[in-house]
Amino acid sequence: MDLVATTKHPHDQFCSFQHLHRGGTRTCGFRGRVCDNIGSGFCSLRVYVSCKARFLVLSSDSITESRKLKGPRKHFGNRVFAVPKVEYPGLDGRLQHFGRIPQGKLNGVESLSNGVNTRRNFEEFESNIHLRRLVKNGELGEAFRFLERMTYHGDIPDVIACTSLIRGFCKIGRTKKATRVMEMLEESGAVPDVITYNVLISGYCKAGEIDKALQVLDRMGVAPDVVTYNTILRSLCDGGKLGQAMEVLDRQLKRECYPDVITYTILIEATCKESGVGQAMKLLDEMRNKGCNPDVVTYNVLINGICKEGRLDDAIKFLNDMPSDGCQPNVITHNIILRSMCSTGRWMDAERLLADMVRKGCAPSVVTFNILINFLCRKGLLGRALDVLEKVPKYGCTPNSLSYNPLLHAFCKEKNIDRAIEYLEIMVSRGCYPDIVTYNTLLTALCKDGKVDVAVEILNQLSSKGCSPVLITYNTVIDGLSKVGKTERAVELLEEMCRKGLKPDRITYSSVVGGLSREGKVDEAIKLFHGLERLGIRPSAVIYNSIMLGLCKARQTSRAIDFLAYMVAKECKPTETTYTILIEGIAYEGLAEEALELLNELSSRGVVKKSSAEQVAVNV
């Protein structure tokens, strides 16, 4: 709908539109026609006012002069965009101001140029809002395509939105897409900041593409900061490339980007691993000489290195000297020492360290107690381990599954499964939910004890307890079933795990094939064996041996010998067990003399050990 108003006094505010009203259709603005009798002829202006952006655009039907626009924007029509004192919301939500249009320039070439720029700015602004919305909603693919369209039309994309898009692609490992976003950003004329480059470099480092990260470092359009270098140094050091990391450090210093405590800590940790604590101490001295004070993380790295070198007493001295160096040890510092004390059997020292921690006001964590519990359980001191477990809440800590798992494992090792189940129930009653390690420990003990029905029952309940079985969980129960002659149920579990998306491995198939062979279902075992090959899983010698054993027990030794030939053809090396199975199979078919002759021949060649040969000879 066009509204007409007449104005007789143009000025730098153009004209007022007190009597203009919105049309019937709800849009984000209204338009009207302004009749201007000033000048040589009647001039009709079409007015657009954006309600949301408070943005005014005037287009003239009578202007005949215009500048041609270059680039992908092909045509805008004969319009004048004039925005005197117009405000629009900026990227930070605040109102931004366009400049004032000089008086008398409305119908000139300058007005066209300014107007086109204004229209372009407005469209660019709206495009960037949409781009940010797509990225925020996680629509990375759509955001990428929209960015392509933006840059094709000459828009300059928002650096912050593009940085978020790069981060999104890097998180899912799509570094090529992230790289292309950076390229489009740079080609558009935008200037990526150091954060944008850091995000891309971090993505490359996490993907193991350190060479590409170094290439970005070399071509950065802005000066790298210490975060840039720390990211690259961390990646190089984690990859065992300390020498290359030191070269990057030299480049960092030449560019007058000074290392911080994180930089030195990264290098000290890598030096401890590669060259020993002695060389790392030199870096510590250099760090101090350059006015960079080490923090508790730096000291923890060094103490950990000293402990790994077996110098526990030196580590304790280092711990005691920390306060005089201006750094207080934290709970992690004490846990490092505590773990080393336990691993070397110094239980009494560990107890004293715990008491010393508390005395100094350094509260122990649940990790502290877990270290002690784990050590005591491995030593078989279950009574003391239980005492430590009961003390945990007194120090303001809550035991977790890692507190209970060593106890359950120790009970199972002692074949005290009832006690293990009792503590599983106590664990749950105290609000600590078992993890898959807890259940795997219990299932292993049950299967070893022949209680496979109980194991199957627990396995079936895992999903309802919010704990999904993993490959080792199924392998444990399948093996237990196969060994007690319940291979049919084991095969059902094999099919079940495949339905759940778990891929069986050689251990899974070895258990089932062995069970079928022991039960005399050797043809089924061979069928499963060939299915294993079709899946691309190379059978182990154990699987071949299981089938040969089944064939020999079925008095089909000739087929077993053929299977041996097949085994060799498939480049699976026969073991001593392979030959003893065949020798006993030959004897089992009434060819004892031939079996002994073959045994002596294999023993003389060293294929079968003398002790094994004697045992087989007795059996024959």
Q: What is the pLDDT of residues 72-105, one digit of tens each?
A: 433 333 333 333 333 333 433 333 434 434 444 4
Residue in the structure block whose two tokens are 């005014």: 56
- Indicate if the pLDDT at residue 482 is higher than 90: yes
pLDDT of residue 127: 86
- Indicate if the pLDDT at residue 19 is higher than 80: no
- Indicate if the pLDDT at residue 64 is higher than 70: no
Task: Out of 90-104, 149-163, 601-615, pick the least confident.
Answer: 90-104
From the list 116, 27, 132, the residue with the least C-alpha distance to 69 is: 116
Rounded Cα distance between 311 and 303, Å, is: 9
- Indicate if the pLDDT at residue 375 is higher than 50: yes
From the list 8, 20, 149, 17, the residue with the least C-alpha distance to 72 is: 149
From the list 81, 40, 39, 74, the residue with the least C-alpha distance to 60 is: 81
Task: For residue 346, give the 3-state DSSP assignment.
Answer: coil
Asked if 373 and 404 touch (Cβ cutoff 8 Å), the reply is: no
Q: What is the pLDDT of residues 333-361, one digit of tens each?
A: 999 999 999 999 898 899 899 999 989 88
- Indicate if the pLDDT at residue 58 is higher than 80: no
Q: What is the pLDDT of residues 545-584, one digit of tens each?
A: 999 999 999 999 999 999 999 999 999 999 989 988 988 8
Task: Out of 95-109, 135-149, 179-193, 412-426, pick the least confident.
Answer: 95-109
Rounded Cα distance between 414 and 183, Å, is: 63
117 confidence band (pLDDT: 50, 70, 90)? low
pLDDT of residue 595: 79
In the chain, the N- to C-terminal Cα span, in Å, equals: 108
Q: What percent of the chain has pLDDT over 70?
A: 79
314 confidence band (pLDDT: 50, 70, 90)? very high
Average confidence (pLDDT) over 445-460 = 92
Task: Out of 87-91, 205-209, 235-239, 457-461, pick the least confident.
Answer: 87-91
- Higher-confidence residue of 201 and 466: namely 201
Output the six-digit token pair for 495. Answer: 């099919």
- Indicate if the pLDDT at residue 66 is higher than 80: no
Output the six-digit token pair for 482. Answer: 């196969």
The beta strand positions in 105-212, using DSSP E, are: none
- Higher-confidence residue of 308 and 618: namely 308
**H/E element holding 588?**
helix 576-588
- Indicate if the pLDDT at residue 400 is higher than 60: yes
Averaged pLDDT score across all residues of the chain: 81
Output the six-digit token pair for 307. Answer: 């402990």
- Indicate if the pLDDT at residue 60 is higher than 70: no
Strands 95-97 and 55-60: unpaired
Output the six-digit token pair for 50. Answer: 């954006």
pLDDT of residue 22: 37
Residue in the structure block whose two tokens are 């010393």: 356
Asked if 176 and 200 touch (Cβ cutoff 8 Å), the reply is: no
Q: What is the pLDDT of residues 229-252, one digit of tens each?
A: 999 999 999 999 999 999 999 999
Output the six-digit token pair for 93. Answer: 């939500």
Output the six-digit token pair for 527. Answer: 């069928």
- Higher-confidence residue of 619 and 13: namely 619
531 confidence band (pLDDT: 50, 70, 90)? confident
pLDDT of residue 585: 87
From the list 448, 447, 538, 549, the residue with the least C-alpha distance to 493 is: 447
Task: Out of 31-45, 487-501, 524-538, 592-606, pick the least confident.
Answer: 31-45
**Residue 98: φ, ψ to 5°:** -80, 160
From the list 197, 206, 187, the residue with the least C-alpha distance to 163 is: 197
How far lies 189's CA from each of 145, 182, 185, 219, in Å? 18, 11, 7, 16
Angle ∠(512,515,519) on CA atoms, nearest 5: 140
Residue in the structure block whose two tokens are 């003390």: 391
pLDDT of residue 45: 38
Angle between helices 366-378 and 347-359 (to 10 degrees): 170
Task: For residue 89, give the 3-state DSSP assignment.
Answer: strand
pLDDT of residue 177: 96
Q: Provide the 8-state DSSP code for 11.
A: B
**H/E element holding 48?**
strand 43-50
Q: Tell me the residue length of the chain.
A: 620
**Rounded to 5, what percent of the chain is helix, strand, coil?**
65, 5, 30
Rounded Cα distance between 475 and 443, Å, is: 10
pLDDT of residue 599: 77
Rounded Cα distance between 558 and 82, Å, is: 98
Output the six-digit token pair for 558. Answer: 């000739």
- Give one DSSP letter per residue of 533-556, joined into a string: HHTTPPPPHHHHHHHHHHHHHTT-
Can you say whether residue 590 is alpha, beta or left, with left for phi > 0 and alpha for psi between -120 and 50 degrees?
A: left
Q: What is the pLDDT of residues 164-176, one digit of tens each?
A: 999 999 999 999 9
Output the six-digit token pair for 59. Answer: 């287009």
- Indicate if the pLDDT at residue 68 is higher than 50: no
pTM: 0.69
Angle between helices 417-429 and 401-413 (to 10 degrees): 170
Average confidence (pLDDT) over 140-149 = 94
One-letter amino acid identity for 192?
P
Rounded Cα distance between 186 and 168, Å, is: 18
Output the six-digit token pair for 179. Answer: 């790289």
Greatest extent of the chain over all pairs of C-alpha atoms, in Å: 128
Asked if 292 and 264 touch (Cβ cutoff 8 Å), the reply is: yes
- Indicate if the pLDDT at residue 410 is higher than 70: yes
User: What is the three-state SS of 118-142?
Assistant: HHHHHHHHHHHHHHHHHHHCCCHHH
Residue in the structure block whose two tokens are 């992908």: 72
pLDDT of residue 453: 93
Output the six-digit token pair for 4. Answer: 């007409």
The beta strand positions in 83-179, using DSSP E, are: 87-89, 95-97
- Indicate if the pLDDT at residue 435 is higher than 70: yes
Output the six-digit token pair for 577. Answer: 């067990």
Q: For residue 245, what are the contacts with CB-CB under 8 A and spacing of at least 6?
A: 232, 233, 236, 237, 266, 267, 270
User: What is the three-state SS of 24-42?
Assistant: CCCCCEEEEEEEECCCCCC
